[in-house]
Chain A
């Protein structure tokens, strides 16, 4: 009496499953179209997230390096500026002092010596330049001031040369004070050691290690100090000694010119390296951004087309479901 037929539940179950699958597909595609990114990153990359992780890490690192290069460039520029001031003071001072020292006129000497006093203060002030809240020439102790005040240094030098009568003797004593560790480095300099290499990029590191204890700087200060001492009340009154000292100071400042240019070149080299590193970082960052976009992006046209197709399919399925539900023998009995 009975024949098999096709169970009701089979039809209903099939339609239900297909509707659900299509709806899920439509949702996935619409989120892809809306955000422009693949909905399931791991599936789009076939589970290989190592490259993406590497790109993300490098990008974050390059952002940090960008601020590091900017700050380092700023510091290098500041140091160059201060050293330029120092150089100008030294050259002007050298000229005046040598002229006064060779000609020997009292008026010239007095002018040169007074100016030397001012120049020495300006030089110390230039070396004490702060950028933000950091001293530029204080090494690893940027909170501190690089040098003691001009007057304090001259006081210490006065104590050093007390009792010496000859110009050569005074020059030698001052020179010794500047070079020996217990002199300038201990008394006048209150900064720290020279800083080490700072990384500017994953491959580069740059040393901005010029402090106020650099030999070229110290030599310039020595020359200016020697002349400035003549401005002090306790200076030797003897005209010959004064003239001789002025001449020695002027020659010292002149001799040190090569040292100062070498210093400027060193910082200039560091600036160039910082600039190169910054540019290289920027190029690498933009290339990585492009790679990341390439990995994560979903083709908008393909996604939109697929979404259109899925929606049409879903509508067709709804129409079929409606039709099939009307096909029942019970309606015809």
Chain B
């Protein structure tokens, strides 16, 4: 009886050692896997009746720091959001160009200014007038390119939202399904650590999109909430996110006017900083599409409005009758709607040889039927004065202050540069924080040196238990050999 007890204890020791070795090998195999939680074997003395007999494996635990993981996920969401905003601002800055670069918006306006001065000096020279027309067309092209770029950024943000919403919905459904499996399996006492790993990976996958809070529910299930309180997964039920993509976005489109908002289980949900799904890359894409990009568009449109109104009816050119478009037209007509004007601004066809007009109208007025005195530079001088005259901006989207058009463009470029710098600072701070937390989290992961050290101990335990078994076997054969 005590011999068989010894045998049974030794066997239990071997089993425990074998399980421990299995855990070590699993840990070492997954040492490089991001998101793998280090396994530990829980062993305890086995009690048979009142006496102990051997060792039993209580279970396998995943070593995770819940708090650290939660913090890391929130920091990742903040970093991803800041990254989106910084990327957008950098893109816009590249579109507008830095003032010292030829071809930037401010440089194009300055070139138009210079062309007018040169033409005023020799108003009879067709080459000078042609240079004025070219410079004016270059300004309109620069504004159009910037406007197109802004709308393209909105389209990209919209596309990213659509892809993100798809991924999040799938992941939430996956988490709910895993919840069901884990509850079922852990009730029967089986090892669910693999499923838990899978569930953690799914949640980490969407943590950058939406700031999450993971809460333990009984039986191994978890519930997911957004940082601002919306329920994403509760037990075995997951929420449904709804969004319709808009592939082509034009200026003036907004939520409810051509663009789709976000719905959670059919109800519209806010993505602002205080909204239910606020924070994170998804909310940042919404901010880019619905707030930041339209702001830039409004500033570009305001610049276009300045050009259109300073050279229009009531300006230096007396041949333009009221209600007729001036030197810069809204796609050929008078400016009525400012939204999107930057993309539609064009040189008046009457003065543009490429559109069937004549260059002399730059010198003699847009309404002139025939060329006038070829040496008369009065209109050209007045046009240049109108371009540089300090005036309060016609639109409230530009910062107040009496400036010339080139200085207004400089203000717009300054604003964009400042936004980009502050977005980059925020992004670098958020990314540094999330990196630090990630490093701390990884520090609790698998350390192969420690696992190998443990393996040494396990080897010794195995050898010791095997030796006990051999000794017991010899003892039992001795006993059996007595009767021979």
**Which residues of A are in contact with B by a Cβ distance under 8 Å?**
1-10, 13-14, 17, 41-43, 45-50, 52-54, 56-57, 60-61, 63-65, 67-68, 71-72, 134, 138-143, 192-193, 195-199, 202, 205, 292, 296, 328-330, 333
Contact = CB atoms under 8 A, between A and B. Distances in A.
A13 B449 contact: no
A10 B388 CA distance: 59
A42 B31 contact: no
Contacts of A8: 31-32, 445-448
B381 A198 contact: yes
Interface of B: 20, 31-32, 34, 38, 40-41, 43, 63, 93, 98-100, 106-107, 109-111, 113-115, 117-118, 120-122, 124, 373-378, 381, 384, 388, 406-407, 409-411, 413-414, 417-418, 420-422, 435, 438-440, 442-450, 452-454, 456-457
Contact of B124 (A45, A46, A142, A193): A142
Contacts of B114: 60-61, 63-64
Nearest to B106: A53
27 contacts: A3-B450, A8-B31, A9-B32, A13-B435, A13-B439, A14-B439, A41-B98, A48-B417, A49-B99, A50-B414, A52-B98, A56-B110, A61-B113, A61-B114, A64-B115, A64-B117, A68-B121, A139-B375, A140-B374, A140-B376, A192-B375, A196-B378, A197-B381, A199-B384, A328-B449, A333-B452, A333-B456
A141 B448 CA distance: 92
A10 B449 CA distance: 14
A67 B127 CA distance: 14
A5 B449 contact: yes
A7 B446 contact: yes
A197 B384 CA distance: 13
Contacts, number: 186
Contacts of A197: 381
Given A5-B447, A14-B439, 7 more contacts: A1-B41, A1-B457, A3-B450, A8-B31, A50-B414, A60-B114, A198-B121
Chain B interface SS verdict (over half): helix
Nearest to A2: B40
Contact of A67 (B32, B110, B118, B457): B118
Contact of A143 (B124, B376, B447): B124
B118 A41 contact: no
B380 to A, nearest CB: 10
Contact of A68 (B38, B118, B388, B439): B118
A41 B449 contact: no
A17 B118 CA distance: 55
A13 B438 contact: yes
A195 B406 contact: no
A195 B375 CA distance: 7
A4 B27 CA distance: 13
A97 to B, nearest CB: 35
A307 to B, nearest CB: 21
Nearest to A43: B421
A43 B231 CA distance: 42
Contact of B100 (A141, A296, A329): A296
Q: Which residue of B417, B418, B440 has the most chain A CB atoms within 10 A of its CB atom?
A: B417
Given A140-B374, A142-B374, A48 B414 contact: yes
A5 B38 CA distance: 11
A53 B445 contact: no
Contacts of A71: 121-122
Contacts of B109: 57
Contact of A10 (B376, B378, B414, B442): B442
A7 B111 CA distance: 60
B448 A328 contact: yes
A119 B178 CA distance: 112
Contacts of B111: 60
A160 to B, nearest CB: 28
Nearest to A14: B439
Closest 8 CB pairs of A and B: A53-B410, A5-B447, A7-B445, A5-B450, A47-B418, A140-B373, A64-B114, A42-B417
A161 B447 CA distance: 121
B117 A7 contact: no
B113 A57 contact: yes
A17 B124 CA distance: 64
Contacts of A60: 107, 110-111, 113-114
A17 B439 CA distance: 10
A43 B373 CA distance: 51
Nearest to A200: B121
A59 to B, nearest CB: 8
A292 B99 CA distance: 11
